[in-house]
Amino acid sequence: MAGTTMDRALPGRKGLKADAIGFVNGVVVGVASTAPAYSLAASLGFVVIAVGLQSPAIMLIAFFPMAAIAAAYYYLNRVDPDCGTSFTWVARAMGPWLGWMTGWAIIVADIIVMANLAEIAAVYTFLLVGIDTYAMEDVLFSIGPVDAPTIALTLGDAIVIGAGIFWIAAMTWISYIGIEVSARVQFVLLAVEMVTLALFTFMALAAVYGITGTPPADSVLPSLDWLNPLAIVDQEAPDAGFSLAALGMGLVTAIFIYWGWDSTVSINEESKDPYRGPGKAALVSTVLLVLTFVLVSIAAQAFHGPQFLVDNAESEDVLGALGLDVMGDPLYLLLIASILTSACGWASCPSSSTASCASCPRTSCTTRSPRWG
């Protein structure tokens, strides 16, 4: 179809700095973009609600579609290392309509998640210094009846909004300075995050096995059965046998936890080996993520049992709820700091949405934009 063919472009023709990112930094971007600490803190409780003690098995199952997609990205990137990734590749293979829809879907999703992560970064900034913004309930502005307002802005909300705007501006500025600075910031933030998660896992399991003293009364010794997906049952009817519905519920949540590793492919045009390096980094990122998610989920549910995670799922911070008991004071502040750096790290990553935008000028010159009506 005339006007839909896109000429293959060499990397670095969109104003992006070529040869700026090596393999290691690519892996750092891929892992950091997933925000492991925040993703686990917010979602692990809901995984346990769905599958109980089989949450590590769900993390393993969710890894396989991620690894398959990473492999597909590796080969697509070898053919066309374009920073637009799925936006460009779908447009080339399936036409401009689906390409544009793919690009805009990614942009919209990233905007929504960015707002959420800015809130998390703001809340944990104050928690790090002992200030709970959720407890600041003085109403500054409201719409509707005084006793039951439709919309109410509390002092805590105002502080969080202000701090969230600050973090978005700060991370945007870091990204604007250049990919090399952004990658160095990512390296530091991810190092803090991964070291803290490793320490949390070690201390939790050491306590469960009685190495550091008497195990918690409600702790559960880890079992290889936790890695068996065929042991997944409906938590409301555990005697009914394997439950495909429970598997599906847990899998959907676990796949969300993995979301973000594809950012390492989005920086292909700025990589030292644009045709092979980003794809390899994506594959390595998914492997590191599955190891992290499986080990942390085992440690988290073993320390206080699965019911503790279920009870704290609605708070969207099961790691924070475990932190003080597992690591003690003041080490638990490292866990708070890791969730903060996790949220900030994702926000400063060169995401697929920005890559799609960078690819738009070249693509729109050779592709018909969809017209509505």
Mean pLDDT on 304-312:
92
pLDDT at 196: 93
End-to-end CA distance of the chain: 20
| CA distance linking residue 99 with residue 90, whole number of Å | 5
Contact between 234 and 248 under an 8 Å Cβ cutoff? The reply is no
Residue 266 inside a domain? The answer is yes
Residue 302 inside a domain? The answer is yes
Cα distances (angstroms) measured from residue 354 to each of 85, 142, 239: 11, 36, 48
pLDDT at 347: 59
On the CB side of 203, CA atoms within 13 Å amount to 16
| CA distance linking residue 302 with residue 109, whole number of Å | 33
3-state secondary structure of 226: helix
| CA distance linking residue 179 with residue 176, whole number of Å | 8
Residue 60 inside a domain? The answer is yes
Give the CATH number for residue 169.
1.20.1740.10
349 band by pLDDT with thresholds 50, 70 and 90? low
Residue 183 inside a domain? The answer is yes
Residue 108 inside a domain? The answer is yes
| CA distance linking residue 364 with residue 370, whole number of Å | 10
Contact between 249 and 62 under an 8 Å Cβ cutoff? The reply is no
- Which residue's entry shows tokens 């993995």? 258
| CA distance linking residue 228 with residue 222, whole number of Å | 12
Residue 308 inside a domain? The answer is yes
- Chain centre distance of CA 361: 28
Q: What is the tens place of the pLDDT at every residue in 20-76?
A: 788 888 898 889 888 899 899 889 999 999 999 999 999 999 999 999 999 999 998
Q: Exposure of 278 by Cβ count < 10 A (0-12 exposed, 13-18 middle, 19+ buried)? A: buried
204 band by pLDDT with thresholds 50, 70 and 90? very high
| CA distance linking residue 371 with residue 373, whole number of Å | 7
What domain range includes position 180? 23-118+161-366
Give the chain's largest Cα–Cα span.
73
Residue 17 inside a domain? The answer is no
pLDDT at 314: 82
Domain count, the chain: 1
Token digits of residue 42 = 């917010």
| CA distance linking residue 334 with residue 200, whole number of Å | 9
Residue 198 has pLDDT above 80, yes or no: yes
Q: Which residues touch 223 (CB under 8 Å, ≥6 apart)?
A: 53
Amino acid (1-letter code) at residue 180? E
Q: What is the tens place of the pLDDT at every residue in 187-197?
A: 888 898 999 99
pLDDT at 273: 86
Q: What is the tens place of the pLDDT at every residue in 125-160?
A: 898 888 888 888 888 877 877 677 778 888 988 999
Residue 8 inside a domain? The answer is no
3-state secondary structure of 151: strand
**What length is written for the chain?**
373
- Which residue's entry shows tokens 């509390």? 154
Contact between 325 and 151 under an 8 Å Cβ cutoff? The reply is no
Q: What is the tens place of the pLDDT at every residue in 252-277?
A: 999 888 988 888 888 888 888 888 88
Alpha-carbon dihedral angle through residues 231, 235, 236, 241, given to the nearest 10 degrees: 0
